[in-house]
């Protein structure tokens, strides 16, 4: 059996046991992987691009929950952040905060959505987003105000078409509701044990191990 293309979430999936920071044990297996590796994340575009550089793999990236897709030579922007930024302005005007401090590096380079810290009130954010025709998803790391149509699965499909691999051959690993569309797109999917209910329900298999431990167990199995 040939080595399958990988579709990997980052936060909660490539992270250390406490859930924060990339577990360095994933670097060598991914650098040596003999098939495409796609990083599909809710993070702003520069973060997964940088991670590709640090790992040493070609840049194949779905960022901002599908809002930005990089196929290795072209950047595809699939959503517009104007509406979500308006929601963020209204949220602040109502007396709330995005929760990231003055520098707000979480949103500084974000082009198609807005992320709000999970220690901020969710219901008023959801109400404002719904009034604007948007949605809020809770990835376990942030609340993302986004277009209802943008998702990771469509981004993965775009990369597969461009690079030339079969989605049915792909293995995906993730932990969150934003990975459901990816799980529905690929041939085989795994949820790490720390995954939320939506990811667990959508995955073909829920792993016994959490975070990078779970991911590494899959890499050993499917290599």
Of the candidates 9, 11, 175, 179, the residue annotated as catalytic is 9
**Burial status of residue 197 (CB atoms within 10 A of its CB: 0-12, 13-18, 19 or more):** exposed
**Any idea of the CA torsion for 165, 167, 168, 172, to the nearest 10 degrees?**
110
Signed CA dihedral, 181, 182, 186, 190: sign only: negative
For 117-171, the pLDDT digits (tens) are 999 999 999 999 999 999 999 999 999 999 999 999 999 999 999 999 999 999 9
| Averaged confidence pLDDT in the chain | 97
* 14 touches 143 (CB < 8 A): no
Residue 74 above 80 pLDDT? yes
pLDDT tier for residue 61 given thresholds of 50, 70 and 90: very high
DSSP 8-state class, residue 146: E
CB within 8 Å of 130: residues ≥ 6 apart? none
Catalytic residue check, 9: yes
* 118 touches 124 (CB < 8 A): no
For 103-127, the pLDDT digits (tens) are 999 999 999 999 999 999 999 999 9
CA angle 125, 148, 73 (to 5 degrees): 115
Whole-prediction pTM:
0.95
Model pLDDT, residue 1: 61
């Amino acid at each position: 059996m040939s080595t399958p293309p990988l579709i990997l979430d980052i936060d909660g999936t490539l992270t250390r046991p406490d859930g924060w920071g990339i577990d360095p044990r994933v670097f060598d297996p991914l650098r040596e992987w003999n098939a495409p590796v796609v990083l599909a994340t809710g993070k702003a575009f520069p973060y997964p691009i940088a991670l590709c550089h640090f790992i040493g793999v070609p840049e194949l990236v779905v960022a901002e929950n599908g809002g930005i897709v990089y196929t290795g030579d072209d950047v595809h922007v699939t959503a517009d952040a104007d509406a979500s930024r308006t929601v963020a302005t209204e949220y602040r005007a109502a007396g709330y905060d995005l929760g990231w401090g003055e520098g707000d590096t979480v949103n500084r380079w974000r082009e198609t959505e807005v992320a709000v810290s999970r220690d901020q009130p969710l219901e008023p954010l959801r109400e404002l987003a719904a009034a604007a025709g948007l949605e809020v998803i809770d990835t376990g790391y942030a609340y993302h105000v986004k277009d209802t149509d943008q998702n990771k699965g469509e981004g993965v499909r775009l990369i597969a078409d461009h690079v030339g691999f079969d989605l049915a051959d792909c293995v995906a690993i993730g932990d969150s509701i934003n990975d459901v569309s990816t799980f529905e797109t690929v041939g085989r999917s795994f949820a790490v044990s720390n995954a939320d209910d939506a990811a667990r329900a959508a995955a073909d298999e829920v792993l016994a191990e959490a975070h990078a431990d779970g991911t590494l167990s899959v890499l050993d199995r499917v290599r």
